[in-house]
Amino acid sequence: MSWTRTVIVAVIAAAVVGTVVGLVVWAVMRETSTTEPPELRELDWWEHTVIYQIYPRSFKDSDGDGIGDLKGIISELEHLVDAGVGALWMSPIFKSPMYDFGYDISDFYDIQEEYGTMADFNELVEKAHALGLKVLLDYVPNHASTYSEYFKKSENREPGYEDYFVWADPVRVNGVNQEPSNWISQFGGSVWEFSEKRQQYYLHQFAIEQADFNFREQAVKDEMIKIMLFWIERGADGFRVDAIPHLFETAPDANGVYPDEPLSGNMFLRPDQAGYTTQIHTRDLIELYDVVYDWREAVDNWAKNNGSETKVLLAEAYANISMTMLYYGDEKGRIGAHFPFNFDFITTLSAESSARDFAYVIRHWFTYMPQGQVPNWVFGNHDQSRMPSRFRSNMVDGLNGLNMLLPGVAITYQGEEIGMKDGFVSWEDTVDVAALNQGNSSNYLEFSRDPCRTPYHWDNSTNAGFSTAPKTWLPVAEDYIEINLQAQKDASVSHYKVYQALTRLRKEKTLSHGAFDVQALSLNTLLLVRHLRTHDTYALLFNVGSVSDTVSLSNVDLLSEPLTVYISSVHSTRTPGSTISSSSITLLPGEALVLRAPPT
């Protein structure tokens, strides 16, 4: 057993629940006391990397059409190196009619023209690899565009394609055709759409133009693996796998009847909104895990047969904790994704959360994660309100600090490194199908994912340096004059400078291999300690509240004096290099400090 694993096991075994709920002290137990540094397991490339999510449409436009593209990404790869990240993941860049901005793929084997060509893709991979960056693609197995050849052939009942999608006959009630069941799409409205051509309904869990593949069909499963290997052969280092909980739906009974879902009883939802029914027939079906385990086998085999580095699979799954953890693998020893995304910071925490909520949510993941697996942390993505908008602007450095100091993989959504907030997108400028489906209603913004997708802020020039076009595909957020990369590079203190310091600090063995302890020192102040014998200890002290807070570190065993401020959040009055006394520390609202302490 590796040292890290020994520690994790020991840490869990030695978790001592303190007298106060929320004050859990993790003790690092290992036959200690020699001064020899511990023998450290060599980590695989992905186990402690920082993954940077690029939303290609909004990152950088090279040809002035108002839409980000591959050449734009290529021209800014150095930015990712400068920021200190290890891998990039691009949201879909494949051929698509763009009803769901690339998540509706019409050709899984080609690049969307407005993004570039296969040659551009090759150049991107080559340059990224030369810079030491891994390249992850978005893999969308649940559905294809209704403009895809697969769908056209299936609609025409071409041999071999008849059952590629989920087709169902109408239900006849009093001589009238009705939808096969009451299932509701994630974007609102029925999952069933009638095809005049085939005189049947097809199922779509997302937009009408995104038809769900039929994963009970072997040809579909084979094709999806073929697609995955096609991109691996072209240099992809792995995939973020889209929308997996929706892979399967309950099959019809012997008479072809689909069961209705019971109503959820959620009174805040209209009958055409996702969640109005319980989704027991449309989410988390147990059959899906075998498909994920097969994918893992396919990529592992490819890597083995080609003597290549590990190709990773990262599962996008908004699911309960048990169903989430099953993506790592099952009791029978089958393994799946390298990790399922940990969305807890998005789904469970908010500006109102206390330090105890933070500590609880962090431990929650570790409590359920199977032994020996790698955790990960997500603070935002292209589907969710941006991190400083969900929390508070003064929490940016503390949240990035948590992301970087917690064990495992850190995931950054483009713009988090400079504290970008949601942009305002008027109804007239709205393009997201999830919002459009609500109609011009007062609440379209509750559903719209446009605000978190507005273009990246490079500098304070026109369109924030994103594009020279007179009009960009989504408006640039107004605050780009204050919040932009160039300004933050020029400033002596900025979110970006803090981010860089954090990614640099991650290279320390304490962070890649050390044990961790997280606790609430008070209602609002969180303490995260990373500890590795014979190495310096690092701690993040973070006031997540909206009032000043005074805490003491005197009772924290792992932190011995002298305590040096190593990194401080932008509005902190403490400068890196200064020492602080552990007995009484007052933190401003949102203030975060990374402290360094000598080895214990």
Catalytic residues: 242, 316
Site for Mg ion in 5-64 (CB under 5 A): 61, 63
103 binds, among ligand GLC, Ca ion, Mg ion, none (CB under 5 to 8 A by kind): ligand GLC
383 binds ligand GLC, rule: CB under 6 A: yes
> Where do we find the tokens 């909520």?
357
Residue 353 tokens, joined:
């959360």
Compute the C-alpha angle 258/263/267, nearest 5°.
150
206 binds ligand GLC, rule: CB under 6 A: yes
167 binds, among Ca ion, Mg ion, ligand GLC, none (CB under 5 to 8 A by kind): none
Binder of ligand GLC out of 140, 144, 227, 337 (CB under 6 A): 140
Least Cβ distance, residue 116 to Mg ion (angstroms): 8
Least Cβ distance, residue 242 to ligand GLC (angstroms): 5
Pick left, alpha or beta for residue 453 (phi over 0 → left; psi -120 to 50 → alpha; otherwise beta). alpha
Closer to Mg ion by CB, 338 or 457: give it. 457
Q: Which residue type is seen at 193?
A: E
d(CA 584, CA 522): 13
d(CA 415, CA 54): 9
Among residues 428, 379, 427, the alpha carbon closest in space to that of 399 is found at 379
Pattern of binders to Ca ion over 230-249, x per CB under 5 A? ----------------x---
Q: Which residue type is seen at 297?
A: E
> Where do we find the tokens 């099959």?
251
Asked if residues 455 and 467 have their Cβ atoms less than 8 Å apart, the reply is yes
Closer to Mg ion by CB, 58 or 279: give it. 58
> Where do we find the tokens 């090759």?
122
> What are residue 194's phi and psi, to 5 degrees?
-85, 135
Site for ligand GLC in 237-266 (CB under 6 A): 242-243
Least Cβ distance, residue 430 to Mg ion (angstroms): 21
Closer to Mg ion by CB, 65 or 383: give it. 65
242 binds, among ligand GLC, Mg ion, Ca ion, none (CB under 5 to 8 A by kind): ligand GLC
Least Cβ distance, residue 452 to Ca ion (angstroms): 25
Q: Which residue type is seen at 185?
A: S
Site for Mg ion in 65-84 (CB under 5 A): 65, 67, 69
103 binds ligand GLC, rule: CB under 6 A: yes
474 binds ligand GLC, rule: CB under 6 A: no
246 binds, among Mg ion, Ca ion, ligand GLC, none (CB under 5 to 8 A by kind): Ca ion
List CB contacts of 196: < 8 A, sequence separation 6 or more: none
Least Cβ distance, residue 227 to Ca ion (angstroms): 16
Least Cβ distance, residue 194 to ligand GLC (angstroms): 21
110 binds, among ligand GLC, Mg ion, Ca ion, none (CB under 5 to 8 A by kind): none
Q: In this structure, what is the dihedral angle of CA atoms 156, 160, 163, 164, given to the nearest 10 degrees?
A: -90
User: Can you spell out the DSSP letters for 59-86?
Assistant: T--SSSSSS--HHHHHHTHHHHHHHT-S
> Where do we find the tokens 């994704």?
337
Closer to ligand GLC by CB, 51 or 592: give it. 51
d(CA 389, CA 423): 10
Asked if residues 45 and 91 have their Cβ atoms less than 8 Å apart, the reply is no
76 binds, among ligand GLC, Ca ion, Mg ion, none (CB under 5 to 8 A by kind): none
383 binds Mg ion, rule: CB under 5 A: no
Least Cβ distance, residue 243 to ligand GLC (angstroms): 4
Asked if residues 309 and 129 have their Cβ atoms less than 8 Å apart, the reply is no
- Count of residues binding Ca ion (CB under 5 A)? 3
100 binds ligand GLC, rule: CB under 6 A: yes
Closer to ligand GLC by CB, 336 or 380: give it. 380
Q: Which residue type is seen at 599?
A: P
342 binds, among Ca ion, Mg ion, ligand GLC, none (CB under 5 to 8 A by kind): none
Closer to Ca ion by CB, 246 or 533: give it. 246
d(CA 451, CA 472): 14
Closer to Ca ion by CB, 212 or 536: give it. 212
Least Cβ distance, residue 279 to Ca ion (angstroms): 12
Compute the C-alpha angle 428/467/111, nearest 5°.
90
- E strands, 423-573, are 515-520, 525-531, 537-543, 549-551, 563-568
51 binds ligand GLC, rule: CB under 6 A: no
**Which is it for the CA torsion 97, 102, 105, 108, positive or negative?**
positive
Interacting residues toward ligand GLC by CB under 6 A: 100, 103, 140, 206, 242-243, 316, 382-383
- Site residues (vs Ca ion, CB under 5 A): 142, 212, 246
